[in-house]
A and B are shown apart, each in its own frame.
Chain A
């Protein structure tokens, strides 16, 4: 079975400082992992995805995530937070053997302090 655990429900950073949103996964096979972002009252936008091509994945808006199999982690980082990064972030694992269904973490709300 697949699942993800987002270790922080809320992260607060100052503008211009680094961002770290933590995610651990559980999967019985090599997973496909994603980070989605949801701005207030908006739909979901894909930030980046890992599909075993490279362990360090670059996404949009300067975000990156590193797949670490030994730690079963897929943490999301950004060197310098911007006010526009304030949103809800979801770590997601895909069901690759079935209908490509997604299993979501409970989300991390990122607040950026000016």
Chain B
């Protein structure tokens, strides 16, 4: 049971390039989310999904796209990278609250992205 995995661990992009951050979980969790972490700002929600085929925007969605074709995978796409997207990105998964009293989110190890 690997939990939540993210690839790559590090990435450097040039302004305008595109890339996809990968996230996968093997816990059969319905909910998955993407957060970004910037110094002094905690983590902020980018996009989330409550199940396969369903996605929605979080607090800071601009410049990012997501899709959820399977329960296991939730990739985050940067279509045209900007220096403002330099950050550490975390993927998380959880079961919905209706499945039990615990709604703990499990986090991946993160992807450190630098946009030059």
Contact = CB atoms under 8 A, between A and B. Distances in A.
B42 A90 contact: yes
B56 A99 contact: yes
Max chain A CB contacts within 10 Å: which of B42, B45, B49, B105? B42
A51 B102 contact: yes
Interface stretch (B14-22, B78-86, B93-101): B93-101
Contacts of A34: 104
B97 A100 contact: yes
Interface size class of A (residues with CB under 8 A): 20 to 34
Chain A interface, >50% SS class: loop
Max chain B CB contacts within 10 Å: which of A44, A103, A105, A106? A44
Nearest to B3: A43
A100 B103 contact: yes
A46 interface: yes
Given A49-B102, A51-B102, A100 B31 contact: yes
Interface size class of B (residues with CB under 8 A): 20 to 34
A30 to B, nearest CB: 12
B12 interface: no
Contacts of B105: 100, 102
Nearest to A45: B107
Interface of A: 9, 32, 34, 42-44, 46, 49, 51, 53, 90, 94, 96, 99-107
Given A96-B103, A103-B45, A107-B40, 20 more contacts: A9-B40, A42-B109, A43-B109, A43-B110, A44-B90, A49-B102, A49-B104, A90-B43, A99-B33, A99-B49, A99-B56, A99-B96, A100-B97, A100-B105, A101-B33, A101-B45, A102-B33, A102-B43, A104-B42, A106-B40
